Amino acid sequence: MSDTIRVGAGCLNQIPLDWSGNRRRILEAISQARAAHVSVLCLPELAITGYGCEDQFLSHEVAERAWASLTKIAIETQEMVVAVGLPVWVKNAVYNAVAVLVDGEIRGLVAKKNLAGDGLHYEPRWFHAWPDGIIVEDRFGDHTLPIGDPIFKIDGIRIGLEVCEDAWVADRPGRLFAGSGVDIILNPSASHFAFGKQEVREQFVVEGSRAFGAAYVYANLLGNEAGRAIYDGGGLIASAGKIAAEGPRLSFQETTLVYQTIDIERNRLHQARTVSRQIDVQGLSEINVPFQWPEVTRWDGHAPVPPMSKEEEFTRAMALAYFDYLRKSWSGGFVVSLSGGADSAAVSTFVKIMLDLALHDLGEDGVRKRLPHLDLPAETADWMKPLLFCAYQGTKNSGDTTRHAARAVAGALDCDYAEWEVDELVESYESTVETVLGRQLSWEKDDITRQNIQARVRAPGIWMFANIRNALLLATSNRSEAAVGYATMDGDTSGGLSPIAGIDKHYLRQWLRWMETEGLPESPPIKALSHINVQNPTAELRPQADKQTDEDDLMPYPVLDTLERAAIRDKKGPGAALKVIRAVYPQYEEDQLIDWTKKFYQLWCRNQWKRERYAVSFHVDDQNLDPKTWCRFPILSAGFAEELAEL
């Protein structure tokens, strides 16, 4: 038995049901770990199939193919201990399991006890939770193996597993390991990105190491795996109650590895000194595995890394999500209807940041290899034109400010850009409808109708360019607009992907100012965004004399976002939400606050049907309104009528 062991966490950018690709990346991580003299390697949850397989987890063929892939992976683990996740069937139930591979052989499986069933996660739809203290033997392919919650005693070193959600609950499995002398805890995870979440992960990793007197190794998925969720990567290793190493987050690489050498005896000394520790004399069931631990000759390894700011997290997460969506959908670039306002500017800017970060992480050859379906020019300086096409579609209600802003932003992004007018299309539709109605349309009587037709006639032309370029049309509506339906269906919501539908307008404007002045080291600030940031947001759908602004139509965006958090995130009724904004915004009159509260709840209830129709959005904030993954609400309801009347 060795006193020191080198452990590692491998983070993988997988694709659901990509059998050969997922296996290739797993084997690449194993090869990298072997080259770094790692003896114990933790890989992510459900890494063999991908985490986002949805109802395909209920397919027996998926489990069979996963097992066949596992047997090929196991052969490549000589002189190593590797944990990797896959779904398995036991007695006609599906379990989210982790296979423990030792020295080229499959030695047993650990099944997840606590299933993630909130927000993005829907594990109880497919998997059963494994009960405490139960280990059975079952047939898996040509193997008869134990499955349950065993400890693996490998040449005297005890290894236990917590699988993702297992570590997030109060009654975590690690509490049982503490009394059984476990030396190393592995946590294969699929933990989605959200602002500030890495700090929470660090807390449970550190606490697991401290409270259980063990080394703790956490491995996560990486990238935009299946469309909506983004995974950080950012593998973690803790020992003696402190973070010992942290891997890169939001990397464009397909695999990342973090490793560190740990002192087994130091953690055992901590266990021995903790006299309050309840020793389990009988102990959990152990699977004894013969193994010869290699001698550790170097103590080098990775170190902890400083935390990212919210702006940096957001920027890197969105850029990686764009890149993975582009390559995994085999799209021929992106198309945006660039209005000269904040939303379309942000949506377009992320394409430039995506390219900057991809080139920094992968180099020119690496980007070409990851985007083999794109015919990219010889010089990287020319790549933005095939990657992004933007068009400004003006009407007589459009102002010079937005037109100049669109030109300036497109010029700074160096994308393919065009301008055209849509007044004739608007007039054609209005004329046709006026003929049928037998009267002229007016702003006094037909305000919303006339605004909406201007937004809708912009959709067919921009869709045509997306089709011609075989590209992905990006919708530009944000979360604040989604909350109150301040968006035109089949207008600014048109697109195959709605990247910013999960972020509020107030923060988006803050981010644009940050991107104008600071940016990232690999993607410098874009000064042309000043043309966007000096404006008050406006749809520009009414005559210019009306001086239309979004906040005049709705309410101040900070107030709207505060109401949204109170009403939707915190599930407060109108009266309680009114108390919140009354406390936060004492500068406004009571009648005004009541009016805004009523408007928010009325618009929220009326517009669920719009939210149901939004294109796929990226999940970057755990206040998402996506009804398919996070925030369900009835399409038809009484609309808080009694509650609003009580105000």
Q: Could you tell me the pTM of the whole model?
A: 0.95
pLDDT for the residue numbered 300: 76
Low-confidence ranges of the chain (pLDDT < 70): 1, 275-277, 280-284, 539-541
**How far is 552 from 554, CA to CA, in rounded Å?**
6
CB atoms within 10 A of CB 439: 11
Q: How far apart are CA 254 and CA 323, in angstroms?
A: 12
Residue 341: half-sphere exposure toward Cβ, Cα within 13 Å: 20
Letter string b/e over residues 283-307, b meaning 16 or more CB atoms within 10 A of that residue's CB: ebeebebebebeebeeeebbeeeee
CB 216 within 8 A of CB 205: yes
Q: In what order do the strands lie in the sheet with 416-421?
A: 416-421, 388-394, 334-337, 472-473
Q: Which residues pair with 5 in a beta bridge?
A: 262
Spatial contact of 121 and 137, defined as CB atoms under 8 Å apart: no
The helix or strand, by DSSP H or E, that contains position 343, with its residue range, turns out to be helix 342-370
Cross-sheet strand order for the sheet of 81-90: 135-140, 143-148, 105-111, 93-102, 81-90, 40-42, 4-12, 255-263
State phi, psi for 406 to the nearest 5 degrees: -60, -45
Closest by CA to 11, choosing from 178, 243, 189, 228, is: 189
The secondary structure of the chain in percent helix, strand, coil, rounded to multiples of 5, reads: 40, 20, 40
DSSP annotation of 566: I
Are 503 and 365 contacting, i.e. CB atoms less than 8 angstroms apart?
Answer: no
Rounded to 5 degrees, φ, ψ at 165 are: -55, -25
Please give the Cα distance from 384 to 72 (Å, whole number).
Answer: 41
What is the rounded distance in angstroms from the CA atom of residue 111 to the CA atom of residue 114?
A: 9
Around Cβ 92, how many Cβ atoms within 10 Å? 6
Cα-based distances in Å from 527 to 411, 416, 518: 11, 19, 10
The SS3 call for residue 99 is strand
Pairing of strands 242-246, 236-239: antiparallel
Nearest C-alpha neighbor of 175 from the set 198, 145, 153, 204: 204
pLDDT in tens, 531-586: 999 988 776 667 777 778 878 888 999 999 999 999 999 999 999 999 999 999 99
CA dihedral 405, 406, 411, 413 (to 10 degrees): 110
pLDDT given for residue 539 in this prediction: 63
* β-bridge partners, 85: 98
Tens-place pLDDT, residues 393-403: 999 988 899 99
| pLDDT of amino acid 284 | 64
265 vs 565: CA distance, rounded Å? 48
pLDDT for res 93: 97
Q: Is 624 exposed, middle or buried (0-12, 13-18, 19+ CB in 10 A)?
A: buried
In the Cβ-directed half-sphere of 360, how many Cα atoms lie within 13 Å? 16
The whole-number pLDDT of residue 277 equals 67
The predicted structure's pLDDT at residue 280:
67
Residue 178: per-residue pLDDT: 79
Domains and CATH numbers, the chain: 4-289 (3.60.110.10), 310-550 (3.40.50.620)
What's the mean per-residue pLDDT of the chain?
94
Contacts of 52 (CB under 8 A, 6+ apart): 16, 225, 226, 227, 229
Mapping DSSP to helix (H, G, I), strand (E, B) and coil, where does residue 624 land? coil
Contact between residue 45 and residue 272 where contact means Cβ atoms under 8 Å apart? no
Coil/strand/helix, residue 188: strand
Whether 157 and 183 have beta carbons less than 8 Å apart is answered as yes
Question: Which pLDDT belongs to residue 520?
Answer: 98
Residue 548 has a pLDDT of: 82
Cα–Cα distance for residue pair 437/507, rounded to 1 Å: 43
Residue 452 near residue 488 (C-beta atoms within 8 A): yes
**In whole angstroms, what separates CA 144 from the centre of its chain?**
37
- Indicate the DSSP class of residue 432: H
**487, 464 Cβ separation under 8 angstroms:** no
CA distances from 121 to 170, 228, 332, 374, 631 (A): 19, 12, 30, 33, 12
Three-state secondary structure call for residue 287? strand
Cβ contacts of residue 287 below 8 Å, gap of 6+?
107, 108, 146, 150, 151, 152, 153
β-partners of residue 289 are 154
